[in-house]
Structure formats: structure tokens, C-alpha cells
Amino acid sequence: MIEVEGMKDEGKKPQGNNKDEGILNFCSNNYLGLSSHPEVINAGKKALDDYGAGVSSVRFICGTQTIHTELESKIARFHEREDAILYPSCFDANAGLFEAFLTPDDCIFSDELNHASIIDGIRLCKARKFRYKHRNMEDLATKLSECGDSRLRLIVTDGAFSMDGNVAPLDLICRLANDYNALVMVDDCHATGFLGKTGRGTEEHFNLMPGAVDIINSTLGKALGGASGGYTTGPIELVHLLRQRARPYLFSNSLPPPVVACASKVFDLLMGADGFTEKIRENTTRFRSKMTEAGFTISGDAHHPICPVMLGDARLAAVFADEMLDRGIYVISFSYPVVPKDKARIRVQMSASHRFEDIDRTIEAFTQVGKRLGVIE
Ligand SMILES: Cc1ncc(COP(=O)(O)O)c(C=O)c1O
């Protein structure tokens, strides 16, 4: 169970029979439950003592400590890439990447539902820009075929799309990239650590060889400890170029030592033992199948721990989420403009830290509220 802080500030308290059980958090990106892992916490505390609270500098002045370069090496090793570069966040990794290496002679192809940070990053670059229809390979192929004479072609996609919990068809994207001699960049924020057999992300989910995707951007702020930080991993030449040119890397402070040490411990854990992805997979299957049996519509990929409970009406979704909190379950409703009109939902996120009894309690609460509000019979 994950205790939710700050509820009192919002004047919201669980009611009903669950007062003694605390509030269950089902809306966090703490996919592997590692933000409260004792070894991760201890690593952060030790780094505070050993390296201080912060470095008061950007990386290239005096902001690079051994732990920063060690973490970059671990990230590259985890993904089986040549090198990696850390940023203060993945938002920054996406903001820094495209401007640094694309020119007006290049073309960039971006899924229309890519994350806001990708959209902003692409705005900053001078390449010709194409937005292809969401996960639509026909449209992507058409757009690629218009750019045969460009210097470089880069396809950019979220690995998993966070509003819907669906996964980009990376196998097909890589095939198209091959056909059209294009590069592929994936933002794996909602995949790294847990998607694929050993948590290597969307590439592994599709059984693609490491390196099938040219560039991976991801975050340390979700499954990988949940603090903050982001990175790009890929070819060494690209990483060298980013160290020279990526503006959020050059002009923003280094990650603080405790944050670096926590993430570094997470990579040690993930690379040191198997089985980290099993519990979240079991939890996802349990929630999705039991909720479907109860009569709810859960969208997204069957394997993804983002489980959007589709409700349609925005007001209904908001009331539903409030009533869930009254029953001790913390979930959030999403409605227009965050998702399309009449596609309001409650986005439930599974974590490996949820016990089966937590999941069953949540399904029971969904069932009670669903019946009360006429969503299910
Ligand atoms: C797909 C995607 N990319 C990038 C980000 C930004 O990550 P960070 O919190 O590390 O800036 C997020 C965070 O919500 C995300 O979901």
C-alpha cells in the first residue's frame, strides 16, 4: 500500500469502511514501487553525506561528479547502447535533442499524440515537420515517401501513450524506417523498467534487438525511482554532440547527488536480478481482467499498467473519482481537452507495490460506485 501525503490539505478524507486502511494510490507512475525501496532510499541518504545536497553548477563547469558519469554508463549498459547523457528531466531531454542535430535539410515525423515535451522539442528544430496520424503506419509511410531527398529522416514516437495505455507499433515503425532509410527515436518514459520481459522497454516488448531503435529518451521520474531526471541513450557520436549543443544540458544545473544515487541504485537492482517486472505484469492482468468481468471498458494494451476505465462523460468521471476517494482509493479523472470530447475516463495505474488485496479492494470500490452511478449493472 502506498500512503498518500497531502490529502488533508485538500480537505479530502476517506470515508466508509476503510478509515483504518489508509488511502490506496492508484494514480502514480511508481510502476515498480522502487521510490520507497529501502536500498534506494539509503543510497540517496549516503550520497547526501558523501557528495552534498547539490553541486551549484551545470555539468560542464563543476557539476560533474563521478556518480554522474557512473550513472550515464549504467544507463547505456542497461539499454545496451554506446553512451548516455543525463538531463534535469526527460522534458529537457526532449527539448534538447532535435534542435541539436537536425538541420533544415532533414525531416522529422512525429505521432500526433506524442507527449508535449516532444512537440515543444520539435518546435525548436529547423527540420521539415510532419505529424502522422496516431499509430497509423499508412500515413507514416505516405509522409516518409515525400521526403526521399532529405539529408536525414527521423521518426519520433512515445513508446507507450500515457492517456490511453497503448503501445506504439514499434516493430512496424522500425520496418518502415528500414524501408525509407530513416532513424527512430522513442520516448520510453512509460515503458522503461517494466515493459518487456526484463523491463528494457518498448523495443524489448516487441522482441526487437537492442539497437533496433536509434535513440531512446526516458525519465528517472517514473519507474526508475520516481525522483527526477531524464536521459538520452544511443550512439556515442550523438551523445558527444548533445554534450556540446543540447541547451538544457548546457544551461541547467546538474542533477543533485541524492537523486543520482537513488537512480543509480535502481539500475543496480534492475541489472542485478531478474523478476522485477513480474509483479506489475500480474497486477495489470488481474486488474484488467476482473474489471472487464465486472462490466467496465478498459482501454489500452493488455500488457500496459496504465488502465483507463472509460466513462465517456466528463462530469460522470469527476464524480466517480470523488466517490472512489470517499472509499479510500485515489484515482484521477481525465476529460477534454486532455483527452478527446466524450472520452472521459479514470486513469488507473498499476504498481508492483500493490498487493492483490489492494487491487481487489479497488475493484470492489469501482463496482460499488459503478453500480451507484449506473455505469454497470
Ligand atoms: C511520454 C513522456 N515524455 C516525457 C515526460 C517528461 O518527463 P519528466 O518528468 O522526466 O520531465 C513525461 C512525463 O510525464 C512523459 O509522460
pLDDT, tens digit (0-9, with 9 covering 90-100), for 202-237: 999 999 999 999 999 999 999 999 999 999 999 999
User: Model confidence over 255-270: pLDDT tens digits?
Assistant: 999 999 999 999 999 9
Averaged pLDDT score across all residues of the chain: 94
Instruction: Single out the residue in 243, 272, 301 at which a domain terminates.
Output: 272
Are residues 195 and 88 located together in one domain of the fold?
Answer: yes
Are residues 54 and 167 located together in one domain of the fold?
Answer: yes
Q: What is the mean pLDDT of residues 310-320?
A: 98
Q: What is the CATH number of the domain that holds 348?
A: 3.90.1150.10
User: Model confidence over 161-203: pLDDT tens digits?
Assistant: 999 999 999 999 999 999 999 999 999 999 999 999 999 999 9
Are residues 140 and 234 located together in one domain of the fold?
Answer: yes
Are residues 226 and 264 located together in one domain of the fold?
Answer: yes
Nearest residue (CA) to ligand 1, atom 8: 90
Q: Closest Cα to residue 159, out of 128, 121, 197, 118?
A: 118
In a domain, 312, yes or no: yes
Are residues 250 and 334 located together in one domain of the fold?
Answer: no
The number of distinct structural domains making up the chain is 2
User: Model confidence over 281-305: pLDDT tens digits?
Assistant: 999 999 999 999 999 999 999 999 9
By percentage, how much of the chain surpasses pLDDT 90? 93
DSSP code, position 203: H
- Centre of ligand 1 to C-alpha 256, Å, is 19
Contact (Cβ atoms closer than 8 angstroms) between residue 171 and residue 147: no
The question of whether 222 is a catalytic residue gets the answer yes
- Centre of ligand 1 to C-alpha 229, Å, is 10
Q: What is the mean pLDDT of residues 315-319?
A: 98
Residues 6+ apart with CB under 8 A from 99: 121, 124, 125, 126, 245, 246, 247
- Does 9 score more than 50 pLDDT? no
In a domain, 160, yes or no: yes
Selected catalytic residue, list 117, 150, 162, 353:
162
Q: What is the mean pLDDT of residues 307-333?
A: 98
The question of whether 333 is a catalytic residue gets the answer no
Q: How many other C-beta atoms are found inside a 10 Å radius of the C-beta of residue 187?
A: 31
pLDDT of residue 21: 61
Query: Does 275 or 364 have the greater pLDDT score?
Result: 364
In a domain, 1, yes or no: no
Could you tell me what percentage of the chain is helix, strand and coil, using 3-state DSSP and rounding each to the nearest 5? Answer: 45, 15, 40
User: Model confidence over 56-72: pLDDT tens digits?
Assistant: 999 999 999 999 999 99
Q: How would residue 15 be classed by pLDDT, with cut points 50, 70 and 90? A: very low
- Does 364 score more than 50 pLDDT? yes
- Does 19 score more than 80 pLDDT? no
Are residues 93 and 186 located together in one domain of the fold?
Answer: yes
Instruction: Single out the residue in 272, 299, 323 at which a domain terminates.
Output: 272
pLDDT of residue 4: 44
pLDDT of residue 148: 87
Are residues 231 and 285 located together in one domain of the fold?
Answer: no
Are residues 231 and 120 located together in one domain of the fold?
Answer: yes
Nearest residue (CA) to ligand 1, atom 15: 189
Are residues 241 and 225 located together in one domain of the fold?
Answer: yes
- Does 18 score more than 50 pLDDT? no
Are residues 254 and 294 located together in one domain of the fold?
Answer: no
- Centre of ligand 1 to C-alpha 191, Å, is 11
- Centre of ligand 1 to C-alpha 115, Å, is 7
Instruction: Single out the residue in 272, 287, 321 at which a domain terminates.
Output: 272
User: Model confidence over 94-132: pLDDT tens digits?
Assistant: 999 999 999 999 999 999 999 999 999 999 999 999 999
- Does 83 score more than 60 pLDDT? yes
pLDDT of residue 274: 86
CA distance linking residue 234 with residue 207, whole number of Å: 18
Our mutation pick for probing the ligand 1 site, out of 86, 98, 115, counting the most ligand atoms within 8 A of Cβ, is 115
* Residue list, ligand 1 pocket, CB within 6 Å: 89-91, 94, 115, 117, 158, 162, 187, 189-190, 219, 221, 230
Selected catalytic residue, list 222, 265, 290, 343:
222
Q: How would residue 250 be classed by pLDDT, with cut points 50, 70 and 90? A: very high
Q: What is the mean pLDDT of residues 354-373?
A: 98
Domain encompassing residue 285: 8-32+277-372
Are residues 290 and 209 located together in one domain of the fold?
Answer: no
Q: Which residues of 33-46 are buried (b: 16+ CB within 10 A; e: fewer)?
A: bbbebeebbebbee
Cis bond before residue 337 (omega within 30° of 0): yes
- Centre of ligand 1 to C-alpha 228, Å, is 10
DSSP assignment string, 284-330: HHHHHHHHHHHT--B-S-TT-SEEEEEEE-HHHHHHHHHHHHHTTEE
In a domain, 204, yes or no: yes
In a domain, 2, yes or no: no
- Atom of ligand 1 lying closest to residue 115 CA: 1
In a domain, 3, yes or no: no
Q: What is the mean pLDDT of residues 150-166?
A: 97
- Centre of ligand 1 to C-alpha 117, Å, is 7
Are residues 171 and 22 located together in one domain of the fold?
Answer: no
Q: What is the CATH number of the domain that holds 116?
A: 3.40.640.10
In a domain, 364, yes or no: yes
Q: How would residue 22 be classed by pLDDT, with cut points 50, 70 and 90? A: confident
Q: What is the mean pLDDT of residues 78-85?
A: 98
Residue 27, C-alpha cell as written in the block = 494514480
Nearest residue (CA) to ligand 1, atom 12: 189
Our mutation pick for probing the ligand 1 site, out of 28, 31, 90, 228, counting the most ligand atoms within 8 A of Cβ, is 90
Q: Closest Cα to residue 86, out of 212, 189, 217?
A: 217
Q: What is the mean pLDDT of residues 148-153?
A: 94
Contact (Cβ atoms closer than 8 angstroms) between residue 157 and residue 114: yes
Contact (Cβ atoms closer than 8 angstroms) between residue 376 and residue 294: yes
In a domain, 377, yes or no: no
